[in-house]
Amino acid sequence: MLGVLPGRFTGSGVEVTATGSAIADVGSAVLVESTAGLFLISRTDASTFSAIDAVCTHEGCTITGSDGASYVCPCHGSRYSRSGQVLAGPAKASLRRYATTFRDGVLTVSI
């Protein structure tokens, strides 16, 4: 089960505090909940993150699980890479990717 962090909708993006949070370490991943949507965030490097949609493309379930380097949908077992590519079905479509910026300990997901 992924940890959950709150996101702050800013009008053009969602901000998440990375420093001192569940995504402080390289390789970590979380589910971010905001009024703008649900996002899966993983830290790929000291200042680089991957942000993808957290809604499974199979039947719309929220992806809440992680198994090593992949995300797992709890409803029917679809697996996605940290970049959103389908690794195992029943899902056939990849998850939407979002651009990110990181500054002063705050990650911004552009939506």
Q: What is the pLDDT along the chain (111 residues), one digit of tens a residue?
A: 899 999 999 999 999 999 889 999 999 999 999 999 999 999 999 999 999 999 999 999 999 999 888 999 999 999 999 999 999 999 999 999 999 999 999 999 999
| Global pTM value | 0.95
- List the one residue out of 24, 11, 2 whose CA is nearest residue 106: 24
Q: Across 1-111, where does the E strand assignment appear? A: 3-6, 8-9, 13-17, 29-34, 37-43, 49-53, 65-67, 70-72, 79-81, 86-88, 97-98, 100-103, 106-110
- 108: which 2 tokens? 């911004």
- 6: which 2 tokens? 């709150």
**Where does 3-104 sit in CATH, by number?**
2.102.10.10
- 85: which 2 tokens? 């590519």
Sorted by where each begins, the domain ranges of the chain are 3-104
